[in-house]
Amino acid sequence: MITLRNINKIYNKGQQNEFQALHDINLQIKKGEMVAIVGKSGAGKSTLLHILACIDGYDEGEYELDGNLIKGMKDRELAKIRNRKIGIVMQDYALVDDFSGIENVMLPLDFSVKPVDGKKKGRTQKKKIAMEALKNVEMEEFGKNPVKELSGGQKQRVAIARAIVNNPGLLLADEPTGALDTKTSDDIMRLLKRLNEQGTTIVIITHDMEVASRCDRKIVIEDGRIMSNPPNY
């Protein structure tokens, strides 16, 4: 599903404070895998995540997602890919606190990207789709609650529901358990594992070895270089 070939990322290129964040990254992730990308703060994990999410570009190399080369795509094409193929879960949830859970989950459905079938969905249909996503993360009974009233674990479940509402093939999770206690972290990892068993390819960015141990494969990144990348047979 994902192939990276000799990816290099340089910030402030040509300036005095030039910094190379990624060095010749080569990586393959198969459809249906659950992979952890592990490294300390500053290792290049977030930069790699932003490239995988088609949020940030890269200076050299090739990124192929589902057989499509990403480099050179126009902003509108990248927006379609983000909307249809990729779900993103952030450590800080990135939810709108004054919105209800279901209103947050509906947000991706409101993006002004032409639907695959060419038909725009009405609000009633969007609510139904959003509620199905909340059911999938066992949060349907909290759908009407303002997000600011929810616990950290509940917020993360709503964030996951929002990420999967468009049925993306790829789910990217950036430190999804970093702000949670041990029990809640375990619940979130069980949920992600279940979503993976349903067919979603999942990439988790983490510094937590316990989280990484629950994935199919652990890729270690250090100083912008991949140090360990075992195959998944």
Nearest partner of 227 among 25, 19, 5, judged by Cα: 25
6: left (phi over 0), alpha (psi -120 to 50) or beta: left
Terminal Cα-to-Cα distance of the chain (whole angstroms): 15
- Torsion angle, alpha carbons of 22, 49, 81, 130, to 10: 180
* CA atoms of 88 and 110, how far apart (whole Å): 16
The domain segmentation of the chain, as residue ranges, is 2-228
Q: What is the pTM of this model?
A: 0.89
CATH architecture of structural domain 2-228: 3-Layer(aba) Sandwich (3.40)
79: left (phi over 0), alpha (psi -120 to 50) or beta: alpha
- Torsion angle, alpha carbons of 87, 199, 58, 112, to 10: -40
Digitized pLDDT (tens) for each residue of the chain, 233 residues in all: 999 999 999 999 989 999 999 999 999 999 999 999 999 888 999 999 999 999 999 999 999 999 999 998 999 999 999 988 999 998 889 999 999 999 999 999 887 445 555 556 688 899 999 999 999 999 999 999 999 999 999 999 999 999 999 999 999 999 999 888 999 999 999 999 999 999 999 999 998 899 999 999 999 999 999 998 766 53
